[in-house]
Amino acid sequence: MTIDQLRRHWIYDDFSEAELSPDRWTILQAKGPDGALYPYLDRNATVRTGDGAMELSILPFTRFHDSDPKQNNAKQMYRSVQRIPVPATGSLTVEVDMAVRTSGQIPYDLMDAFGTVNLFDLATGVVLDIAATNDSVYALVERLLIPGVTSVEEHYIHRTVLDVPTAPGQTHRYAIRYEPETSLATWFVDGRRLYWATIGVPVAAFNLGMALFSARDLARYSRAEREHGQGATGRWGAWTVTIEG
């Protein structure tokens, strides 16, 4: 019986092990303008796991760059080792609890310091995220600019603030669903359907991701405006995956 004839529901990681499993998670790397690979890794990061959640704390952020967003924006980011296949019909849904507490964040600045739940595919450049700060929760849909994969005309980023009252360190249940027949993506928070978008490009499989970011515009803001001692702590619970098809 194929994956398309089943409803499958499983836990990708319940964070019950004393250390983050290298069989499930690895640090994401990206190629810089010089062709070298740069890991999304902050030297000031501390990681705790083993109690049913993974906690990443960077106080303050130290990974900054003045011209390359790949070496600046993601302070530390994990991607799943396993790519989660999308069924030919039906849907793929990923769910996880996340709590984010920022330190020194500019209030209501979505880009100054935030944590993320990521669903992404580097084969097409499609990114579906939910992000949280001390005071805001928002959905993000993006088509990354990847040489040989996407053109400048195909690249876009769209962020939408969601109607979710939140507070520093408050846990919410986040879910992202993708339906391949229509390329429809839907974002849920605490069981409520709050945003949806048609992606317009078929995706065969996704990686899961979790990260802390500071991503103010490099061209608009000086180093002092971007690097002012802010940091964040993110805590992610068990990741669950449901495939219906």
Q: Is the dihedral of CA 221, 225, 231, 235 positive or negative?
A: negative
pLDDT digits (tens, 9 = 90+) for 211-230: 999 999 999 999 999 999 99
Q: Let me know if residue 69 belongs to a domain.
A: yes
In angstroms, rounded to a whole number, what is the distance separating the alpha carbons of residues 63 and 191? 34
Backbone phi and psi for residue 197, each to the nearest 5 degrees, phi listed first: -155, 145
**In the chain, what is the straight-line distance between the N-terminal and C-terminal CA atoms, in Å?**
12
Task: State the pLDDT at residue 71.
Answer: 95
Is residue 94 within 8 A of residue 208, CB to CB? The reply is yes
Residue 4 has pLDDT above 80, yes or no: no
Q: Let me know if residue 92 belongs to a domain.
A: no
Is residue 91 within 8 A of residue 112, CB to CB? The reply is no
Q: Let me know if residue 188 belongs to a domain.
A: no
Query: What is the number of structural domains in the chain?
Result: 1
pLDDT digits (tens, 9 = 90+) for 102-112: 999 999 999 99
What DSSP element (H or E) covers 50? none
Is residue 238 within 8 A of residue 94, CB to CB? The reply is no
Report CA-CA distances (Å) from 50 to 16, 18, 115, 188, 237: 4, 4, 20, 27, 11
Task: State the pLDDT at residue 6.
Answer: 58
Is residue 126 within 8 A of residue 212, CB to CB? The reply is no
Task: State the pLDDT at residue 33.
Answer: 84
Task: State the pLDDT at residue 176.
Answer: 98
Q: Let me know if residue 193 belongs to a domain.
A: no
Residue type, 221: Y
pLDDT digits (tens, 9 = 90+) for 67-99: 999 999 999 999 999 999 999 999 999 999 999
Q: Let me know if residue 22 belongs to a domain.
A: yes
Q: Let me know if residue 54 belongs to a domain.
A: yes
Average pLDDT score, the chain: 95
Domain that holds residue 155: 15-83+98-172+208-240
Report residue 82 as tokens.
């396993």
1 band by pLDDT with thresholds 50, 70 and 90: very low
In angstroms, rounded to a whole number, what is the distance separating the alpha carbons of residues 190 and 174? 6
* Contacts of 163 by beta carbon, 8 Å cutoff, 6+ apart: 194
Report residue 134 as tokens.
């001390």
Q: Let me know if residue 116 belongs to a domain.
A: yes
Report CA-CA distances (Å) from 155 to 115, 126, 143: 22, 10, 5
pLDDT digits (tens, 9 = 90+) for 14-56: 999 999 999 999 999 998 888 899 999 999 999 999 999 999 9
